[in-house]
Amino acid sequence: MPCWEDVRTWRRAERERLISRRPLVPRDLREARDGIITDHLLSLMIAATESAPRVLGFYWPFKGEFDPRPLVRMLHRRCIRLALPVVVERGRPVIFREWQPGATMVPDLWGIPVPARGEILLPDVLLVPLVGFDGCGHRLGYGGGYYDRTLADMTPKPFAIGVGFEMSRLGTIYPQPHDVPMDLIVTERGTDCARPVTSPATKEKTPCAVGK
């Protein structure tokens, strides 16, 4: 494994490359791709499986991320509670504040809207945006380490679903000890996971299906 200094330099360049490619995809293709991912996630979440949430942590999309808002509006109608990550301190885990349709939003440090108020919740399933990812469920984010710190800190650990696009797939992200792998990756091609997953409900190890 290369040293962390080299990995950090490589990650910075890869992030820039991957983020700059996202807006180049024509809008109609992006919308179609988001629709397919929404359908995959909806089937995962309404099935009685390890990925059916009581409280779903999602994110407010920025920089061309998959838009989970149509999905969460459907889940809200099914009485699933929803929460958004809020950075309360740089370099610390995020908290999750409840979000409901029509909630008053305020911009965070990066201009990402977060709920102005709301109960602090502990999601049992988490949607995590991917800047890049590899076939072992490792992800590249924006470089702040927020999701890694948050997942390392949460007990019980939520079922983490990385959401991204096939164009962001990498051979490896050169995983480091602090990188927390996703339990499942969802792209427009389907679900992808190379390791056994632990159900938050049963804590039993279940073989991870690679379904397309």
Ligand X SMILES: Nc1nc2c(c(=O)[nH]1)N(C=O)[C@@H](CNc1ccc(C(=O)N[C@@H](CCC(=O)O)C(=O)O)cc1)CN2
Question: Is 140 a residue that touches ligand ATP (CB under 6 A)?
Answer: yes
H or E element in which residue 139 lies = strand 139-140
Picked from ligand ATP, ligand X, none, the partner binding residue 94 (CB below 5 to 8 A depending on kind) is ligand X
Say which residue the tokens 């009485």 belong to: 79
> Least distance (Å) from ligand X to the CB of residue 76?
18
Question: Is 4 a residue that touches ligand X (CB under 6 A)?
Answer: no
Query: Who's near 44: CB < 8 A, 6+ residues apart?
Result: 51, 52, 161, 184, 186, 191
Residue in 152, 167, 170, 201 binding ligand ATP, rule: CB under 6 A: 152
3-class DSSP state of 9:
helix
CA distances 12 to 22, 57, 143, Å, are: 16, 26, 8
Which region among 37-45, 110-118, 134-142, 200-208 touches ligand ATP (by CB under 6 A)?
134-142
Question: Is 65 a residue that touches ligand X (CB under 6 A)?
Answer: yes
Contact 185, 164 (CB under 8 A): yes
For ligand ATP, the binding residues (CB under 6 A) are: 11, 140-149, 152, 178-179
For ligand X, the binding residues (CB under 6 A) are: 12, 59-62, 65, 85, 87, 94, 110, 112, 129, 141-144, 146-147
